[in-house]
Copies of this chain bind each other. A is one copy, B any other.
Amino acid sequence: MIIVMRQDASREAAEDVAKRVEALGLKPNLIFGEERTVVAVIGDDRRKDREKFESCEGVDKVLTILAEYKIASLETKPEPTVIRTHDLVIGGGNFGVIAGPCSVESEEQILASARAVKAAGATGLRGGAFKPRTSPYSFQGMKEEGLKLMAAAREETGLAVVTEVMTPQHVDLVASYADVMQIGARNMQNYHLLQAVGECDKPVMLKRGASATMDEFLLAAEYILDQGNQQVMLCERGIRTFETHTRFTLPLASVAYLKSKTHLPVVIDPSHGTGHSNLVPSMCSASVAVKADGMIVEVHPDPSNAMSDGAQSLTFKVFEATMQECRKIADAIGLTLH
């Protein structure tokens, strides 16, 4: 951490800051510049409240050197984490495709979807049984019945089941059916939930909150890792910006950035990231081109009759064409898309 003093701060104020730094067990290094004095702090200040130095007499601002996350850091573990469950492989040069409807709606719907996405090349099946919905009046999911149908679809197709868990009380129930536990964007900072999935032995897909910074995203992953569960994949699903022609803004530069900071695999969600089915296929192609570790795509037998997210779901036919284009790109750049 670097503590920058105000131009009019006295020498005493800087020395007082230095003393407070020492009191935390860290080593201060006073540098008297031409216009400003700064206190450079040596030592691991990750677990200190660094910003409180702002309240000290004469302090202008506090600059951070060390990121707060540690287990998630590439500096801690330089080898990429690879997640494998059933035929789904995410990371280490493997591009895993998870596809299926937003919500499980019926046996027929989920089975038809599972068969179609498997035929097109997906190895994971998505489908919501517990649905976080913006309105209390919207369809909230089939709950355990939906999980059973997902498991049945796995039975038949071999696809890994990826489904959301919304609250700590449901973690055991969901884990008994799911292969990958999804934490939704709205729950990225639901810390009790993060800790609960951190204690379970299933891989976790952590979605980025709509206004989460990269550090907040990695610290949310750190909550899970810190409980002992190392099987975490990050999912970039778009951020909230002033754009209204897309539901969210999908920043694909996140992939290269995250890969420069963490060993955890990164999956893209072009469906929520754009919100309109006509924008999804090209963003699937781009997800492959930037060498993400996978993608999760909403596909529905009849989007115009879907119980949720109809506007952003692909038909079977469009998904198949999209997968063909993705495979061409993967082949061209040496990424394994099973």
Contacts and interface: CB of A to CB of B under 8 A. Distances in A.
A65 to B, nearest CB: 6
A55 to B, nearest CB: 4
A241 B249 contact: yes
A172 interface: no
A305 B63 CA distance: 18
Interface stretch (A85-93, A147-155, A209-217): A209-217
Interface in A149-200: 166-169, 186-187, 189-193
Interface string A18-51: 0010000000010101111010101110110101
Contacts of A274: 253
A257 B241 contact: no
Nearest to A214: B245
Contacts of A132: 189, 191
- Copies of the chain in the assembly: 4
B240 A242 contact: yes
A79 interface: no
Contacts of A169: 168-169, 192
Nearest to A62: B311
A65 B46 contact: no
Given A33-B42, A63-B2, A226-B136, A213 B51 contact: no
A189 B189 contact: no
A52 B276 CA distance: 10
A218 to B, nearest CB: 10
A191 B133 contact: yes
Contacts of A36: 65-66
Contacts of A113: none
B290 A282 contact: yes
A289 B285 contact: yes
A279 B138 CA distance: 31
Contacts of A137: 46-47, 68
Interface string A67-88: 0110000010000000000000
Given A250-B252, A285-B289, A68 B242 contact: no
Interface of A: 2, 4, 7-8, 20, 29, 31, 33-36, 38, 40, 42-44, 46-47, 49, 51-56, 62-63, 65-66, 68-69, 75, 132-139, 166-169, 186-187, 189-193, 209-211, 213-216, 219, 222-223, 226, 239-246, 249-253, 255-257, 260, 273-274, 276-279, 281-283, 285-286, 288-291, 303-311, 313, 325, 328-329, 331-333
6 contacts: A34-B42, A34-B43, A46-B137, A49-B308, A187-B189, A252-B282
